[in-house]
Amino acid sequence: MKMLLVFLLVMMAACPAIPQDLSGKMFTFPQQTNTAHVKLTSSRQSLGAVTVCLRFFTDLRREHALFSLSTSSFSNDFMIQWDDKNKEIEPHIRDQKVEYGGQDFKLNMWHSVCTTWDSSSGLAQVWLDGQPSVRKYSSSGSSISGSPIIILGQEQDSHGGGFDINQSFVGMMSDVHMWDYVLSSCEIQKYVDELNFTPGNVLNWKALDFQIVDRVLIEEKQSSCH
């Protein structure tokens, strides 16, 4: 019996996690911490272009990370954060910060953000609640590669760690998708309006492989009743 239990535990550890359909769900990050996060898994090891879209709900009035992809080469290979001092969504691509103005948002409401980048042109763009920013140069000529680690709820100041409590996310997050190409403006608008958009082919909220660390909850998504 003891040997059977050991065998089952080994098999469970060896088997990959089964992707989950999180439709109608949300991750709740209920407190400020330097430990709680969600680690997302993808088999993709190289990205020449990226689109990340997600929805978030928070009352934070300080800097916080929404999405953090780190590699062995760059701790902020693709990161999306809110800069409260300058009131802007700031992508960090290949450790290069891109600044956009005029993007403040109301607290305690659901918001959508999409960020795009193409390594061939080096251009990045942010869409907040369907409103596009200008397109700005960030980094070009090389793809994101090298054992990517993707984290929700914390910023990685080192590959897979280096979390800072003052950059942690507190609130709710849902509908996280990632593509290996730049979405068209029409596809982004479909995502914003929660219409029939093409799910992410790198990360798909309807088939998400993830690991929760510390106090993060999966709950039914709260939305307005009509």
pLDDT in tens, 197-206: 999 999 999 9
The CATH architecture annotation of domain 40-218 reads Sandwich (2.60)
3-class DSSP state of 57:
strand
pLDDT in tens, 40-92: 999 888 999 999 999 999 999 999 999 999 999 999 999 999 998 888 899 99
Confidence category of residue 15, pLDDT binned at 50, 70, 90: very low
Confidence category of residue 216, pLDDT binned at 50, 70, 90: very high
Work out the mean pLDDT of the chain and round it to a whole number. Answer: 90
> Per-residue pLDDT averaged across 194-216, rounded?
97
Tell me the C-alpha distance between 147 and 217, whole Å. 27
Tell me the C-alpha distance between 13 and 9, whole Å. 6
> Per-residue pLDDT averaged across 129-146, rounded?
93
Has residue 13 got a pLDDT over 70? Answer: no
pLDDT at 28: 98
In the numeric block, which tokens belong to residue 36? 């709680």
Give the pairing of strands 123-128 and 136-137.
antiparallel
